[in-house]
Amino acid sequence: MRKLIAVFGLIVPMLAFAQAPDRSRPPAVGRPPSLKLPSIQHLKLPNGLPVLLMEKRGVPVVQVNLLVKADSAGDPPGKSGLTSLMLDLMDEGAGSRSALELADAIDFLGANISTFSGVRFSGVTLYAPVAKLGDAIPLMADIAQRPRFAPEELERKRKERLTALLQSHDQPNIIASALSTRTLWGPAHPYGLAASISEPGIRSITVEDLKSLHASAFHPGAATIVAVGEVSAAALLPVLESAFGRWSQRTFAEAAIAAPKQVAGRTVYLVDKPGAAQSVIRIGRIGAERMTPDYFPMIVMNTILGGSFTSRLNQNLREQHGYSYGAGSSFDFRLVPGPFVAASSVQTAVTDKALAEFMNELRRILQPPTEEEVTRARNYLALGYPGNFQTVREIAGAMQELVAYGLPDDYLNSYIDRVLAVTKADVERVARKYIDPENLAIIVVGDRKTVEAGIRGLNLGEIRTLSVEDVLGKRPVLQ
């Protein structure tokens, strides 16, 4: 006890002279960790179906994604939503199994099989234990190659779609997004048409439409398999060949998609939503394609403007003025230039003030940023990036981007270095190139009688007033 007291007596004076921690500023950010994913193996089945495999050891699970080049841009006129409805129905019965039998077979294996419809690619995804892969992939192959498209399942999904469309008339965010999509892409552009889902279009889709689209979209000539997990090529390829090897190969000519026209001038589209407690704001123009050499400077610039919690837009509208719970911006990168959109939902009474602050920030981003802002944005992107690769599902999802845009194998591992190489001058240059406050489509969904006068007082440009039905069509009649 005496020794303990003596030691304690020596420590206390030492602590008294110890330097107090500096709490006046956050601790310095260390260098972002590097990302070192295993190499990608490029394989191929005898029928020509490409397979990309990344062996990821440690957890005995595998993610297998079958990708096909089909998206909403290929929907025929008057049948918007056909592609997504086809994908939604493909796992509702396939091969010899009904929807319930298929679901039971998947659950019995402890696996998960689902379909998705996205931009550039749609497909079927499988997540399964390695030990059950030989039983799970045949189920995945049934869904991909032999969906049943049962009439009763189509009618059930049709009612779901019509119900969702009816509900959309009371959801300002969906109204704003639909109008923004159609306005920025243009009403005749394939991606603009994709926002024109209507009751007549949904009711016109038949089983024959689904089968015809499936036959044209799902074949090895338009497909790629991405696999990630604790499995070798020697173990995976025989299972894939057994399930997909007899799939008929066909040539595939990808349809060209034209670039949308840039927004000219400034126009306000005011959609009346009587009694709305909030106004939904979308401000946009056309940005750049995914393969632009400006990609990394653009994402750093957008992080400063509206791509993070500490972004200028969020700090202004949320933290400084309290107009909104959050505000942000984003670029939609595709094969052709896609939209840039700044957005928020704000209190009805401050709609005009919020719009004014949006315009202030869109003008301010054209001025040189500070070195501190650029460093913080680079660190935000670089430090968070490795967290996107914690599971085989996330890794496979990232590899899909390599397939979609023909990116090099080292792209994922070199991403952080490319972000950190962005300079202050790069950020200023791309802001001036892609942000133009004088040429914007401004969409507001809110209570017109309350907000219109204030918006007119801002003199932002021509104001076009619309009803919800002008945007979404008439409310569906459910039977």
Asked if residue 258 is part of any domain, the answer here is no
Pairing of strands 462-466, 266-272: parallel
Q: Residues 196, 232: one domain?
A: yes
Could you give the C-alpha distances from 167 to 8, 380, 413, in angstroms and in order? Answer: 70, 37, 43
In Å, what is the CA distance from 265 to each residue of 287, 289, 471?
Answer: 15, 22, 21
Question: What is the pLDDT, as a whole number, of residue 406?
Answer: 93
- In this structure, is residue 418 part of a structural domain? yes
Q: Is residue 288 located within the same domain as residue 229?
A: no
Confidence (pLDDT) at 12: 53
Cβ count within 10 A of residue 37: 17
Nearest to 426 by CA among 299, 289, 286: 299
Low-confidence ranges of the chain (pLDDT < 50): 7
Number of domains the chain contains: 2
Q: Are residues 113 and 195 in the same domain?
A: yes
Is 273 in the same domain as 178? no
Is 228 in the same domain as 294? Answer: no
Same-domain check for residues 310 and 216: no
pTM of the model: 0.90
The per-residue pLDDT for range 79-102, each reduced to its tens digit, is 989 999 999 999 999 999 999 999
Q: The domain containing residue 140 runs over which residues?
A: 41-244
Residues 92 and 230 in one domain: yes
Last residue of a domain, one of 213, 244, 275: 244
Please say which residue of 210, 244, 278 terminates a domain: 244
**Is residue 56 included in any domain, yes or no?**
yes
My answer on whether 239 and 270 are in the same domain is no
Residue 400: inside a domain, yes or no? yes
Retrieve residue 13's tokens: 């004076």
Looking at the structure, do residues 100 and 47 belong to the same domain, yes or no?
A: yes
What confidence score (pLDDT) does residue 212 get? 94
452 belongs to a structural domain = yes
Contacts (Cβ under 8 Å, ≥6 apart) of 167:
none
Quote the CA–CA distance of 476 and 466 in Å, as a whole number: 19
Q: 3-class SS at 96?
A: coil
387-433 pLDDT, tens per residue? Answer: 999 999 999 999 999 999 999 999 999 999 999 999 999 999 999 99
CB-CB neighbours of 79 under 10 Å: 20
On whether residue 8 sits in a domain, the answer given is no
Contact 291, 298 (CB under 8 A): no
Q: How far apart are CA 26 and CA 313, in angstroms?
A: 22
Does residue 154 fall inside a structural domain? Answer: yes
| Residues 374, 233 within the same domain | no
Please report, for the domain that includes residue 372, its CATH number: 3.30.830.10
pLDDT at 193: 85
Q: Are residues 334 and 460 in the same domain?
A: yes
Give me the count of residues in the chain: 479
Give pLDDT, residue 5: 52
Angle between helices 351-364 and 448-457 (to 10 degrees): 40
User: What are 116's strand-pairing partners?
Assistant: 123
The alpha carbon of residue 195 and the mean position of all alpha carbons in its chain are separated, in whole angstroms, by: 16
Residue 365: inside a domain: yes
Mark out the alpha helices in 169-224 (DSSP H runs).
Answer: 172-185, 190-193, 199-204, 207-217
- Do 271 and 370 belong together in one domain? yes
